């Protein structure tokens, strides 16, 4: 009898959630329904949603791997010579099917999808509360499939018909520890996965009515994620429409230059709609401890990851974003450009939330979409909204330089949040890294198979229908 698809991953993820002491993931946030429990009431559904959001903070996904790898595998971050031995394979582009990070990421994202599916497929009678929670679950499922497709599949803009990841949208209450019903599924195409992502986000947008604090996805969070998805698809007209909806109707504002430092020092969810659209909330009880994203940057923690000199030099004097990179010393590295964007490592009562969607990104998506659909004046206006809010000089670019400046601004604005690598991937560009990276991994060509993560060996063993990624 064949093993059920991703059963091994679910088992390992469940053990992780239940027993990994150093990540504090055994502590459920306030009230959370265990995987496989029946959802009979709206209160049950709320508890299940708490568990769904809780699973997003795993170190294997948004708690560290996703934002960190998005900078390390590009040109923003490198590993200091004195380090704790983490992410060596990603830094050197030597990942294999046995590498832990992609395997754990796959498992953890499908665990969250399972939690979302239990909510989406629950038969609780419709009500505003039930619709709201189902809408949030649709958005979370879309977010997870978006990340899975980014990491484990060819970019849509390169080949939409390439193999993506298996779509699992149903939940079998008779077999609650399995991700799917039926036979071992094959990988869907990239186009099919993106179609599901956008369908889920349309559902989320229509069902969500309430706006809670920033640790819950609201309807404009769903729309902002859809703008990101369309950008990665190269559908710039739809990216523009989605981003413009957020800008026009969402009520968000950029944080000012004067408040930029205090914005990053604030470790709590917000309701003021300043900058943060969606973040994963951590606090003094529910956090990843020494495995947190902040801990690997902070010199009070491991301090393994340093900003490249190249990135540091892109910031002009007076740009407040330069203030979250400080010049110091790390072992033999002097100056070492230390990332200070996550300053709450030693805060006993609260920790740094993980920013998943910010308003500045939406404006830069809008700027790029405007530029690529023939509206350079509007593109420049949106670009300069972000730049001048950070105390930087306004751009005066035209033509091809306008696109380059938008990409540069994305690099400066979104550094250490995991976006840089994906700009190279969606645009199918070689990645030219720095002398601070390993010598064999300083120029990553577009055909380097390790730009795409391997399907984990456990999944290949468990499901004979799933195909590996080429090269592994």
At 126-181, the pLDDT tens digits run 999 999 999 999 999 999 999 999 999 999 999 999 999 999 998 766 665 555 54
pLDDT score at 172: 66
Residue 250 predicted with pLDDT over 70: yes
pLDDT of the residue at 38 = 81
Asked if the model's pLDDT at residue 17 lies above 80, the reply is no
Residue 33 pLDDT greater than 80, yes or no: no
Q: How many domains does the chain have?
A: 1
Task: State percent of the chain over pLDDT 70.
Answer: 90
Is the confidence at residue 59, as pLDDT, over 50?
A: yes
Question: What pLDDT, on a 0 to 100 scale, did the predictor assign at position 249?
Answer: 98
Pairing of strands 333-339, 305-307: antiparallel
CB of 80 within 8 A of CB of 306?
yes
Residue 36: band (very low, low, confident or very high) from pLDDT cuts 50, 70, 90: low
Per-residue pLDDT tens digits for 362-377: 999 999 999 999 999 9
Question: What is the pLDDT of the chain when averaged over all its residues?
Answer: 91
pLDDT at 174: 61
Length of the chain: 472
**Helix or strand (DSSP H, E) at 140:** helix 128-152
pLDDT band at 184 (very low <50, low <70, confident <90, very high): confident
Placement of tokens 């091809």 in the chain: 400
Query: Do 364 and 413 meet the contact criterion of CB atoms below 8 Å apart?
Result: yes
Question: How confident is the model at residue 24, as a pLDDT?
Answer: 28
Task: Check residue 177 and give its pLDDT.
Answer: 54
Q: Residue 349's pLDDT is what?
A: 85
Nearest to 139 by CA among 226, 211, 228: 226
Assess if residue 346 is contained within a domain: no
pLDDT reported for residue 179:
58
Place of tokens 């033999």: 332
Quickly state the pLDDT bin for 455 (edges 50, 70, 90): very high
In a domain, 47, yes or no: yes
Averaged pLDDT for residues 348-353: 91
Long-range contacts of 421-427 (CB under 8 A, 24+ apart): 421/69, 421/70, 421/71, 421/73, 421/74, 422/70, 422/150, 422/232, 423/74, 424/74, 425/150, 425/155, 425/451, 426/155, 426/156, 426/157, 426/231, 426/232, 426/234, 427/157
Whether residue 124 lies inside any domain: the answer is yes
Q: Are 410 and 418 in contact (CB under 8 A)?
A: no
Domain annotation covers residue 117: yes
Q: Does the pLDDT at position 26 exceed 70?
A: no
Per-residue confidence (pLDDT) for residue 185, from 0 to 100: 86
Sign of CA dihedral 155, 244, 109, 161: negative
pLDDT tens by residue, 256-297: 999 999 999 999 999 999 999 999 999 999 999 999 999 999
Instruction: Tell me which residue has tokens 């007209």.
Output: 237
CB contact at 8 A, 160 and 190: yes
Q: What's the rounded mean pLDDT across residues 349-355?
A: 94
Q: Which residues of 131-157 are buried (b: 16+ CB within 10 A; e: fewer)?
A: bbbbbbbbbbbbbbbbbbbbbbbbbbb
State CA 7 to chain mean position distance. Answer: 24
**382 within some domain:** yes
pLDDT at 248 over 50: yes
The percentage of the chain sitting over the pLDDT mark of 90, rounded to a whole number, equals: 88
- Does 10 have pLDDT greater than 70? no
pLDDT at residue 315 tops 60: yes
Dump pLDDT digits (tens) for 68-109. 999 999 999 999 999 999 999 999 999 999 999 999 999 999
Mean pLDDT of 455-468: 93
CATH number at residue 80: 1.25.40.390
Residue 66 lies in a domain: yes
Which pLDDT value is given to residue 8? 38
- Is 2 inside any structural domain? no
- Is the pLDDT score of 3 beyond 70? no
Structural domain of 381: 7-341+355-461
Three-state DSSP state, 307: strand
Residue 1 lies in a domain: no
């Amino acid at each position: 009898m064949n093993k059920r698809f991703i059963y091994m991953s679910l088992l390992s993820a469940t053990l992780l959630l239940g027993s990994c002491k150093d990540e504090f993931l055994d502590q459920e946030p306030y009230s959370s329904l265990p995987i496989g429990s029946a959802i009979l009431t709206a209160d049950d559904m709320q508890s299940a949603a708490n568990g769904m959001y809780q699973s997003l903070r795993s170190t294997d996904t948004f708690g560290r791997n996703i934002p960190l790898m998005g900078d390390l595998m590009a040109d923003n971050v490198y590993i200091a010579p004195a380090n704790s031995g983490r992410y060596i394979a990603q830094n050197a582009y030597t990942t294999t099917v046995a590498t832990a990070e992609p395997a754990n990421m796959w498992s953890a994202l499908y665990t969250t999808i399972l939690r979302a599916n239990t909510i989406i497929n629950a038969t609780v009678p419709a009500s505003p509360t039930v619709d709201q929670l189902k809408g949030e679950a649709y958005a979370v499922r879309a977010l997870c499939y978006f990340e899975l497709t980014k990491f484990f599949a060819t970019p849509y803009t390169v080949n939409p018909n390439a193999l993506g990841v298996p779509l699992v949208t149903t939940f079998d209450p008779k077999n609650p520890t399995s991700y799917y019903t039926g036979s071992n599924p094959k990988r869907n195409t990239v186009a099919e996965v993106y179609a599901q992502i956008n369908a889920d986000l349309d559902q989320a947008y229509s069902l969500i009515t309430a706006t809670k604090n920033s640790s819950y996805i609201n309807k404009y969070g769903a729309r902002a994620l859809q703008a990101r998805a369309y950008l990665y698809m190269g559908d710039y007209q739809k990216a523009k429409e989605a981003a413009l909806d957020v800008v026009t109707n969402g009520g968000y504002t950029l944080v000012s230059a004067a408040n930029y430092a205090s914005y990053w020092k604030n470790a709590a969810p917000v309701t003021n709609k300043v900058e943060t659209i969606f973040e994963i909330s951590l606090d003094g009880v529910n956090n990843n401890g020494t495995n947190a994203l902040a801990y690997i940057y902070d010199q009070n923690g491991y301090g393994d990851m340093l900003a490249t000199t190249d990135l540091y030099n892109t910031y002009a004097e007076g740009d407040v974003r330069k203030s979250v990179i400080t010049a110091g010393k790390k072992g033999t590295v002097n100056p070492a450009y230390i990332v200070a964007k996550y300053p709450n490592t030693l805060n006993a009562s609260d920790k740094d939330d993980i920013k998943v969607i910010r308003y500045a990104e939406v404006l830069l998506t809008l700027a790029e979409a405007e530029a690529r659909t023939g509206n350079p004046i509007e593109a420049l206006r949106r670009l300069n909204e972000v730049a001048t809010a950070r105390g930087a000089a306004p751009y005066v670019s035209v033509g091809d330089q306008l696109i380059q400046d938008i990409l540069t601004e994305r690099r400066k604005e979104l550094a250490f949040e995991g976006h840089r690598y994906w700009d190279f991937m969606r645009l199918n560009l070689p990645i030219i890294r720095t002398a601070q990276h390993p010598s064999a991994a300083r120029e990553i060509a577009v055909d380097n198979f390790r730009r795409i993560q391997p399907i984990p060996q456990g999944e290949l063993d468990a499901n004979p229908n799933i195909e590996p990624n080429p090269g592994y």
